[in-house]
Chain A
Amino acid sequence: MNRYPLWKYLLLLVAIVGGVLYALPNLFGQDPAVQITPARDAVSVSAIERRAQAALEDEGVDPLAVDRNEERVLIRFTSQEDQVQAADRLRTELGREATVALNLAPATPEWLRSINARPMFLGLDLRGGVHFLMEVDLEAAVTQSLERYQTDFRRVLRNERIRYSAIEVEDNQRVVARFREAADREQAVGLLREEFRNLNLEQEERDSQYWLIAELPEEERQEIQDFAVEQNITTLRNRVNELGVAEPVIQQQGANRIVVQLPGVQDTARAKDIIGTTATLEFRMVDEDHYPYRGGAEEPAPPGTVKYPARNPRYGDYVVMEREVMLTGEYIVDASSSIDQETGQPQVDIRLSSAGGDIFSRATRENVGERMAVVFIESRQETREVDGETVTERVRSQEVINVATIQEPLSTRFRITGLESTEAARDLALLLRAGSLAAPVDIVEERTVGPSMGQENIDRGFMAVVIGFVLVVLFMAAYYRVFGLIANMALLLNLVFIVAILSLMQATLTLPGIAGIVLTVGMAVDANVLIFQRIREEIRAGQSPQNAIHSGYAKAFSTIADANITTLIAALVLFLFGTGPVQGFAVTLSIGILTSMFTAILGTRAVVNLIYGRRRVSRLPI
């Protein structure tokens, strides 16, 4: 009665072989490596690879292996010194054509990689690095869009010489235009309806004026917000690539949050400067009547103008400019820093898209001989205390970084001079190149783990697993003797399965994840304890050993199923409501429950049947 058909043994064998194979990559550590990603599509990966190899040969560094795919070249080294030396050389060699990042590449042998067996990712708490959770300011995205409509309305009405008394953004909901004459409004409605079909236009008479109210439809509002998050993710990805981080994680979380994880990055201040700044540029005409500006901070800007502080005292304390923006940073396609050959000063060369070039050349042609200002706009958050409550607010700071006379009409290529240092020029170029963030982001959570801490966490977690495992194994062997040893085999197999499944899922192993594994080890023996106690009971009740084994397994099954299903429910709820680390814990717990059912019931039964199934047994060593 205690015999298993051959196919069950085969199934078990296949599962064991598979489990061991896919768990195996975790045993081969990591090689120090350098990852090279071409900056532009124009540079081919194979060309980069050839140049890198030539440079390394020249440098006298012998790489362990060179590995290339469509996106990047990965060069492994035998030692960290080689890695650092090679990275320095490659950076100077390749310059801006490619990003060179230090990386640890899994040293999985080729034959394992060919069956897609890869090690688990290590979480930031285990390998060190930075984790940011950012929140996109969706309201601000809508505001920006409304302000664009406002500018467009002005342009359309001015071009057609329609007189209006004001155009304003109201309640972050709508753009409102006021007219003195009904006829002007009629004309405006016709024009605007033609040009902006997506807007709902309504008319009203109030305070002896004629109002035109343009409402943003709900779908478009939603679209703007979705786009803002999407665009910010793209921009963040570009910026992170510029930073040269290997294996970054940039993901949307919920409606308006973005997770950014940078493994191995230690200089958080710089990482955050680059990632969190919503820097963009605006080009405005300087108000020639008030240049240089003599007023102080308190004086209001003259009507129709805006007033921003100047970075360089050369332009005075403040610069007064026209309210209308000629061009915004969105049209910038490329930016790089260089040194002005004549003055020796740092400068940023900018290239605009063709649409941006059209706007810019039209605007500058009309204003040759006049001064244009470049405004640098940066957005960051500040926390203040108001009535005993902490309030986080966004502060937008505008600064005029450059004022220059337009010598001739500018088009797609031009440059900004007058930056204080080469560093500043480089960072500005980086930010402009990587694109501006569509909407401001706040960093709402940040976690940094030093590399030594990460190693310590791994060592400790590993130690805890090993010691806990050994204690359980010893106890089981002492308490259930031969059956205890069988249960221990199942426990070991369970551990292998958990690791194999996590590796197959390419899950990220974190400290709570290790805790989940440890806990599963403790609880996984429960199924065997239930079965073995049942067998003992059956023996006490006078059953023969064979019958005791059979009914012990049979009777324990529904208990095990019920108990595990309830725990699975708890794990599922944990996964649904939790975030990050809690989810990791829930995943390992669930996997552990499922694999332990397999190993503790099917696995041990197979061994028990193999040992006792085909012979007479007078006493069971249990």
Chain B
Amino acid sequence: MWLLERQLAFDFMNRRRWAGLASVIVLGLAVAVLVIRGLNLGIDFTGGTIVEVGFDEPADVAQIRTVLESQGYEQALVQQFGTARDVMIRLPPQPGAEDADEISNRVLRALEGDFPAVELRRVEFVGPQIGDELTEQGALAMLGALGCILLYVAFRFEYRFAAGSVAALLHDIVLVFGALSLFQISFDLTVLAAMLAVVGYSLNDTIVVFDRIRENFLVMRKGTTEEVMNASINQTLSRTLVTSLTTLLVVVSLYFLGGEVIAGFAFTLLVGVVVGTYSSIFVASASALALGVTKYDLQPPAKEGAEDEGESEFRP
């Protein structure tokens, strides 16, 4: 890490076409995975019932499945959850006159026949109408967040920077969705929250870079737009990496220690922080440049000469 403390001069902007190509390929792959495997939507979105049970010894998943099938739950999804003794049973919305506690009670009674020591740990039931609403709300939240951010960045910087930051965000969102699909992580409410946290985090990174670009546009009189951008990315690179590292330290501990319920959340953040860091270095500025932003766009003509007294002054 101390290597980073020398003045860095990686030529990011010159390689932006290669990086762009790589991004497009990875994005294509992510979309392909999404199309082929689809998202593993959790019951928050599909409706249905989850029953989590604990046993006093490692559970025999095959036998549990047989017991459930004999009760008429052929569509039950049975899987180990966290430890070998915990089992999650997921049932699609049940046609027929049953609601959550009838289902959980029946499942539990059926299992008690074969496994006397079974313990009910958690039941979740979500009605089908809630699922539809959540999907709608989730999409709205995503669009709303992107829209507000676009406005704020356009107001603080310039519309091409705003477009660049949103391009970076879309890049991150698609890649994280791709990863969720590839590993078939159950997409539930907490994962949606993580998704929005990724949006916030990635944006944070991008804004820091843009902020430096804006500052350098005013300070570095010589040099092309590309050179200024390149220098800015290099100057902020060690900060970008250090912050990503500290965040990753926490996210990794959350992933390994937080338990199964929070694992999907932590996984989403893990992928999101990594791609968010990449996109703030390679995607955001390159997109703004591709849209034709130049160093003159952010120089206020009237305020020439007063710029070192500009808004970056902080008086403690």
Contact = CB atoms under 8 A, between A and B. Distances in A.
Interface of A: 4, 8, 125, 133, 135, 268-269, 272, 381-385, 390, 392, 395, 442-450, 452-453, 456-457, 460-461, 463-464, 467-469, 471-472, 475-476, 479, 511-512, 515, 518-519, 521-523, 525-526, 529-530, 533, 536-537, 540, 553-559, 562-567, 569-574, 576-582, 585-586, 589, 602, 605
B96, B194, B235, B257 — most chain A CB neighbours (10 Å) = B257
B128 A272 contact: no
A577 B140 contact: yes
Nearest to A467: B253
A447 to B, nearest CB: 5
Contacts of A605: 316
B167 interface: no
B120 A582 contact: no
Given A566-B204, A570-B197, A581-B189, 9 more contacts: A383-B93, A444-B130, A446-B123, A453-B121, A460-B257, A463-B257, A479-B242, A537-B235, A577-B137
B20 to A, nearest CB: 24
Interface stretch (B57-65, B294-302, B307-315): B307-315
B242 A533 contact: yes
B92 to A, nearest CB: 9
B70 interface: no
B95 A384 contact: yes
Contacts of B239: 529-530, 533
Contact count band on B: 35 or more
Contacts of B126: 444-446
Please list the 7 inter-chain residue pairs (A to B) with the smallest Cβ-Cβ separation, ordered nearest first: A577-B141, A385-B95, A557-B314, A468-B250, A522-B250, A444-B127, A570-B200
B193 interface: yes
Given A383-B94, A581-B189, A523 B204 contact: yes
B211 interface: yes
A475 B249 contact: yes
B120 A392 contact: no
A526 B208 CA distance: 10
Nearest to A559: B211
A554 B127 CA distance: 53
Contacts of B149: 566, 569-570
Contact of B96 (A384, A562, A581): A384
A459 to B, nearest CB: 9
A373 to B, nearest CB: 26
A567 B165 CA distance: 13
B10 interface: no
A554 B312 contact: yes
Q: Mostly helix, strand, loop or mixed at chain B's interface? A: helix
B121 A452 contact: yes
Nearest to B156: A562
Nearest to A3: B316
B246 A472 contact: yes
Interface string B232-268: 0001101100110111111111100111011001100
B199 interface: yes
A467 B249 CA distance: 9
B21 interface: no
A390 B95 contact: yes
Contacts of A450: 119-122
Given A475-B245, A536-B5, A392 B121 contact: no
Interface of B: 1, 5, 7, 47, 52, 54, 93-101, 104-105, 119-130, 134, 137-138, 140-141, 144-145, 148-149, 152-153, 156, 189-190, 192-194, 196-197, 199-201, 203-204, 207-208, 211-212, 215, 235-236, 238-239, 242-243, 245-254, 257-259, 261-262, 265-266, 269, 311-316
B145, B156, B197 — most chain A CB neighbours (10 Å) = B197
B270 to A, nearest CB: 11
A519 B269 contact: yes
B122 A448 contact: yes
A159 B312 CA distance: 85
Nearest to A577: B141
Contact of A589 (B197, B247, B254, B316): B197
A449 B51 CA distance: 10
B257 to A, nearest CB: 4
B245 A521 contact: no
Nearest to A471: B249
B75 to A, nearest CB: 13
